[in-house]
Structure formats: C-alpha cells, structure tokens
Amino acid sequence: MEAFKLKLEQWAMGAESTIFRTEQWGRPIILKWRPEKPYLLKEIDGLLRRTRTNRECRMLTYARALGVPTPAVHWADCANYMIAMDFIEGKQLKQLAAEVSFSKLHELCHQFGRTIALMHKGNVVHGDPTTSNVLIDTTSRLWMVDFGLAEWNATIEMKGVDLHLSGEH
Amino acid sequence: MSLVCLGLEGTAHSFGAGVVSSEGKVLSNNWDMVSPQEGGIHPREASRHHSDKGPDLIVKSLTEAGVSFHDIGLVAFSRGPGLGPCLRATATMARSLALKLGVPLVGVNHCVAHIEIGCLESRFKDPVTVYVSGGNTQVIAFAGSRFRTFGETLDIAIGNMLDVFGRTVGMHFPAGPGIEREAGKGANYHTLPYSVKGMDVSYSGMLTAARKLHSEGVGLTDLCFSIQETAFGMLAEVTERAVAHTKKTEILLTGGVARNKRLGEILSGVANRHGATFHTVSPPLAGDQGAMIAWTGILQYNAGDRLQIADSHVWPRWRTDEQDITWRLSS
C-alpha cells in the first residue's frame, strides 16, 4: 500500500496557526498546523501548542456532538501539532458581512446566535467567537471553527463577555 | 499659515506641555513625573504636582519652541481617560489659557493621542497599535470611523502589574526598568498563570502568583524573567489575533512599557511572521507627554472640532472607541 504524500497548499494564516489545504483519498481536507514561534519562550510556546492542539481536537468533536456544525477531525498528529479536518468551502462571516444585504446579515447573525446558544446549553464555550471564526458555506450553512480556546464545564461567567461601558457621561 | 498648538497632558502621574505645528513638527515637549519615595500614585498628590509644576513647564516649552503666548493658535488638553483630580487640574489650565489668549480649545482622548503621535513618528497609515502603560493595556485598530479596542486587560494594566510586583520586592515606581534589568539575568522559567480570554488578557492572577513565588523564596531574577516572558507572550498572542483578524500590515508599540526591549523583540517577531512592519515609538513620544495631545488636537481642529468652555468637563472613563475619528478616512 502506498503511504500518502500530501501536496500542501497554504490556504490561510491564522493568529497561531498556518492552514494548508490538501487532498486525501481524493477529498479536500484542511491541515491546521501550529508552528513554533521563535520569538516566544520555548516552554510557553510548547505548552500552548500542545494544549491548544489537544483541546481543539477534543472540542471540535464534542461541540459537534452537541449539534454545532464543526469540521470533522480526520486525524491528529500531536507530535507535530497538526490536525486534519474537513475542508469547508465558503467564506468567513467577516468577509460576507461587507457583501450581503442587511436582511441576509440579520439572518446570519441569528444563526450565529443560535449556534452559540447550542454550545452554551451544553456548557461549552468557544473562547474566541469572532466573525473570523465563523464560516458560511456555499449552501449558506454556518460552521464554527478554531476551537483552540474552547472549554467545557463552562460557568455562566465564562459564557459572557465583559462590556466595558462607561457610566460617567 | 502654520498653526501652533499647545498641548497639555495630565491624566495620571505625569504633567506635560508640548508645542507642535500643523506641519507635524514637535517644537518642544517637556514633562515632569511624580515619583513617590514609597507607595503608588495618590490622585490628589498627583493633581497638586500638576498645578505646582504646570505653569513653569508651559513657559519652558514655549521658550524652547521659540514662540510666545501670542503665537499659540490652539490649546488642546487631555480630557480623559484618567484620574479625575489630575484631569481637572490640567483642564483648568487649558481653559484659562484658551480664554486668556482668545483661541479655540480642543479636548483630546489620551489613548487616541498615543496612537496619533506614534503614526506621526512612524509614518504608519493604519496600524494595529499595542498601547501598554501603567494605566492601560490595549490592542487597538481603526475600523469604521473609530479606534476599536480589539483586546484589552480585563483587570489591571501590564504596567500596574509590574509596578505592584516591583513594590513588593522593594523597587521604586516605576518598576518596569528594574524588572527588565533583573529579567536579563534570569534564565529559569517558573510557570505563572497565562491568562488569555478570547482577545483579552488578565494580569491580576499572575501578580498574585508571582508574589506568592517570591514569598516562597524563588529568586528575583528568575521571577522577573518569568513575569516578562508570560506577560509579553500573552500580549503577543492578542496582538497576533488582531493582526490576523484585521489583516493590517503595520504594528505600532507605544506607551511607557514600550521602552521594554524584550517586548519590542517579541512583537517584532509577531510582525515578521505576518509580513507586517513594526515600529516602537521612541521613549520621548511613547510616554505621557504634551506633544501627542497637541498633535491630535491639530488633527481634530482641522476636522472641525471645537470645544466650548461650558462643555469642557473632563471624562475620566472616556474609552478609546468612544471618540469619532473624523480626521481619518472611514474604512
């Protein structure tokens, strides 16, 4: 049997990862790789890469079981801080927000909110639910990605974001 | 015709008077900082310091700039955010001068001023700004006519964390330089809470943990080293998220803590990874001073901003993203 060789194509650059698009058995997949950051202390960098890769694998699957659309994890290579998952063809909500009509955006935001509610009902928090981490596929389905900061057994406090509102004027 | 603006800064421990021309030339920039023998900054003592030192500093800056009171065409002051008593002392000086000289008055957001003077120096057009000082820790970028805070501290500022820790181990205010010196001699990493929540950071847990380790006898050099690596690592992560999200290609480091060489090194690594250019604002323009207020005052004035004396009360909790940035093209 032939060991598979991956033809990597850099797809996107995240804050802490490099995303490659490749194919396995004729189907497109995404390889998410957390590279070393030479500017950070090795101990801290290593700990972050290890725990985030680990956590992301678990939480993508756990959230999926709650009914949250997330890309399925195909395999993970913890020694190289790499996860292979479904490729979702579509755009980030961030990009779409500028392109679609207000009523469409309204609908997407509702869908986004319902997805967050699904997670929170299952006591999971995403940890970084920005419009960069929401993908809308070609059939208008919404997907949550980037679970490196996700947590389970979330308390109410963790489910909220502090609003820094000024009360003095 | 060139407009000459006198900018008065007095949000916390420093009082500054700077003179800047509308061509963006810093003609003079003088400041004085309260440095208590022990303890931290008392708002009342700081405001007294500002009213004591203010007048002389203003005259000194005018003399150095080679202008007289009558050459001043605009007075700008730090309207917030900051310590109430300090803001009020500074605003009082600004109002009196504007009235006496019969020139317009403009109120400037302190955080916005840090960004604008940084852009003037670096010639950056649209950076992700990392603003770190004793009172602020923010990662800011321009979007939709405002400077948005993409990430910030959920509790204490990074400089405050350094100062309070420094005080615990017997350093004077500000403790940042002392901690940086000690950190340079340390090599062993002690785990401290690495606290990033989405785009935000938290430093209070790290402060508690560091003090505890110190009381347990962990050496100061290793502890300072660990504090710097952890605190700056957190900041790097949030900066990186902001850069990845906004796709901006410039990173600007400013504020008092920008003097720290290790922080600059880490953020320059972040910039390098994302193909962005990096600039650390030079110390005289990175700390709290009047030139940044004067320059931002000119930008606001040219965009039509005027502040009536009767409406010129200070805003101690004025957030960065509450100021309409009328002088920049909306993106």
pLDDT in tens, B127-178: 999 999 988 999 999 998 999 999 999 999 999 999 999 999 999 888 999 9
pLDDT given for residue B5 in this prediction: 98
Whether the CB-CB separation of B196 and B234 falls below 8 Å is answered with yes
Q: Do A15 and B244 touch (CB under 8 A)?
A: yes
Cβ–Cβ below 8 Å for B318 and A39: no
Rg of chain B taking only CA atoms, in angstroms: 20
Q: Is A127 on the interface with B (CB under 8 A)?
A: yes
Catalytic residue set of A: 128
Q: How confident is the model at residue A8 (pLDDT cuts 50, 70, 90)?
A: confident
DSSP state of B258: G
> Which residues from B are below 8 Å from A when comparing CB atoms?
149, 152, 154, 189, 191, 194, 196-200, 229-230, 233, 236-237, 240-241, 243-245, 265-266, 268-270, 272-274, 315-319, 322
How many angstroms separate the most distant Cα atoms in chain B? 64
Residue B215 — pLDDT band, cuts 50, 70, 90? very high
Determine the 3-state secondary structure of B300 from DSSP: helix
Q: Which of B241, B266, B272 sits opposite A15 (nearest CB)?
A: B241
Q: Cα distance from A86 to chain B (closest Cα, Å)? A: 22
Mean pLDDT, residues B199-210:
95
For the ranges A74-78, B103-107, B196-200, B273-277, the lowest mean pLDDT is seen at B196-200
Contact between A15 and B189 using a beta-carbon 8 Å cutoff: no
* Integer Cα distance of B11 and B272 in angstroms: 34
Best of A11, A18, A41, A116 to substitute, by most chain B Cβ atoms within 10 angstroms, is: A41
Mutate one of A39, A95, A116, A119 to test the B interface: name it (highest B CB count within 10 A).
A39
pTM, rounded to two decimals: 0.90
Identify the weakest region by mean pLDDT among B38-47, B194-203, B262-271: B38-47
CA distance B228 to B225: 5
pLDDT band at B331 (very low <50, low <70, confident <90, very high): low
Name the minimum distance, in Å, from the CA of B79 to any CA of chain A. 12
Contacts of A166 in chain B (CB under 8 A): 315, 317-319, 322
CA distance A34 to chain B (A): 13
Partners of residue A43 in chain B, C-beta under 8 Å? 189, 191
Structure-token match 């994890």, residue found: A73
**Residue A52 CA, distance from chain mean position:** 11
Q: If you count residue pairs, one on A and one on B, with CB atoms under 8 Å apart, how many are there?
A: 74
Are the Cβ atoms of A149 and B229 closer than 8 angstroms? no
B25: closest CA among B55, B66, B53? B66
Mean pLDDT value across chain B: 95
Whether residue A40 and residue B268 make contact (CB cut-off 8 A), yes or no, is no
For residues B249 and B210, is the Cβ–Cβ distance under 8 A?
no
CB < 8 Å from B in window 80-109 of A: 94
pLDDT confidence band for B101 (50 / 70 / 90): very high
- Whole-angstrom CA distances from A16 to A23, A28, A82 are 23, 22, 12
CA distance A98 to A88: 20
Contact B189 A168 (CB under 8 A): no
Angle, CA B174 vertex, CA B173 and CA B176 arms, to 5°: 135
For B185, the enclosing helix (H) or strand (E) is helix B176-185
Q: What is the pLDDT of residues B12-36, one digit of tens each?
A: 999 999 999 999 999 999 999 987 7
Look at residue A161 and tell me whether its pLDDT is greater than 80: no
Dihedral sign (CA B232, B234, B235, B236): positive
A155 shares contact with chain B (CB less than 8 Å):
no
Q: Which of B3, B97, B17, B1 is nearest to B50 (CA)?
A: B17
Distance CA B271, CA B144 (A): 23
Token reading at B276: 């962005």
**Rounded Cα distance, A69 and A116, in Å:** 11
Q: From the list A16, A43, A166, which residue is nearest B322 (CB)?
A: A166
Is B74 in contact with B298 (CB distance < 8 Å)? yes
Instruction: List alpha helices for A14-72, DSSP H.
Output: 42-65
Pairwise pLDDT comparison (A89 vs B199), residue with the higher score: A89
Return the closest-CA partner of residue B231 out of B262, B259, B254, B253: B262
Structure confidence at residue B197 as a pLDDT band (50, 70, 90) = confident
